[in-house]
Amino acid sequence: MLVLNFRDKIQVMKMRTRMAPSPTGEIHVGSIRTLLYDYALAKQSGGELILRIEDTDQSRYVKGSVERILKVIKDFGLNWDEGPEVGGPHSPYFQSQRLDIYKKYALELVEKGVAYYCFCDEDRLEKVREDQKRLGAVPKYDKFCLNLSKEDIEKNLKEGKPYVIRLNVPKDEMIEFEDAIIGKVSFPSNDVDDQVLLKSDGFPTYHLAVVVDDHLMGITHALRGREWLPSTPKHILLYKYFGWEMPKFVHLPLLREVDSTKKLSKRFGSVHAMGFLEDGYLPEALLNFMMFLGWNPGTEREIYSLEDFIKDFSLDKVQKSEMVAFDRQKLLWFNGMYIRNLPLEELWRKLNSWYKEYSKDKPKFSKSTEPFNLKVLDLVRERMKKLSEFNDLSEYFYEKPKVDKDAVIKFSENKDRAKEIIDNFISVYENVSSENWNIEYLDKISHEKLTEFSYKPKEAFMTIRFVVTGKDHTPPLFDVLGLIGKDEVLDRLRKFKL
Of 16-24, 268-276, 419-427, 448-456, the segment contacting ligand GLU by CB under 6 A is 16-24
Minimum distance from CB of 49 to ligand GLU (Å)?
13
Cβ atoms of 178 and 203 within 8 Å: the answer is no
Q: Is 266 a catalytic residue?
A: yes
Per annotation, catalytic residue among 63, 266, 356, 402: 266
- CA neighbor of 295 nearest in space, from 313, 311, 281: 313
DSSP string of 397-460, one letter each residue: HHSPPP--HHHHHTTSSSHHHHHHHHHHHHHHHHTS-TTT-SHHHHHHHHHHHHHHHT--HHHH
Of positions 20, 35, 323, 442, contacts ligand GLU by CB under 6 A = 20
| Torsion of the alpha carbons at 23, 28, 32 and 37, rounded to the nearest 10 | -100
Give the number of residues in contact with ligand GLU, rule: CB under 6 A: 8
| Residue 71, C-beta contacts closer than 8 angstroms, at least 6 positions apart | 274
The answer to whether the Cα torsion of 486, 492, 495, 498 is positive or negative is negative
Nearer to ligand GLU, 22 or 359 (CB): 22
Sheet of 183-188, strand order:
48-51, 16-19, 221-225, 248-252, 174-179, 183-188
Of 3-11, 14-22, 169-177, 238-246, the segment contacting ligand GLU by CB under 6 A is 14-22
Nearer to ligand GLU, 256 or 417 (CB): 256
- Which string of x and - marks every residue 191-210 that binds ligand GLU (by CB under 6 A)? ---------------x---x
Residue 224 in the binding site for ligand GLU (CB under 6 A): yes
Per-residue DSSP letter, 146 = G
Nearer to ligand GLU, 26 or 459 (CB): 26
Of positions 94, 177, 228, 437, contacts ligand GLU by CB under 6 A = 228
Of positions 17, 22, 168, 359, contacts ligand GLU by CB under 6 A = 22
323-326 and 254-257 strand pairing: parallel
Which of 219-249 are b and which e, b meaning 16 or more Cβ less than 10 Å from the residue's Cβ? Answer: bbbbbbbbebbeebbbbbbbbebbeeebbbb
Nearer to ligand GLU, 18 or 492 (CB): 18
Residue 221 in the binding site for ligand GLU (CB under 6 A): no
Residue 21 in the binding site for ligand GLU (CB under 6 A): yes
Nearer to ligand GLU, 206 or 478 (CB): 206
Nearer to ligand GLU, 209 or 477 (CB): 209
- CA neighbor of 479 nearest in space, from 339, 375, 348: 375
Of positions 54, 55, 213, 284, contacts ligand GLU by CB under 6 A = 54
CA distances to 28, 255, 431 from 266, rounded to whole Å, are 11, 13, 55
Of 18-26, 300-308, 373-381, 434-442, the segment contacting ligand GLU by CB under 6 A is 18-26
Residues classed as catalytic? 266
Contact footprint for ligand GLU (CB under 6 A): 20-22, 54, 206, 210, 224, 228
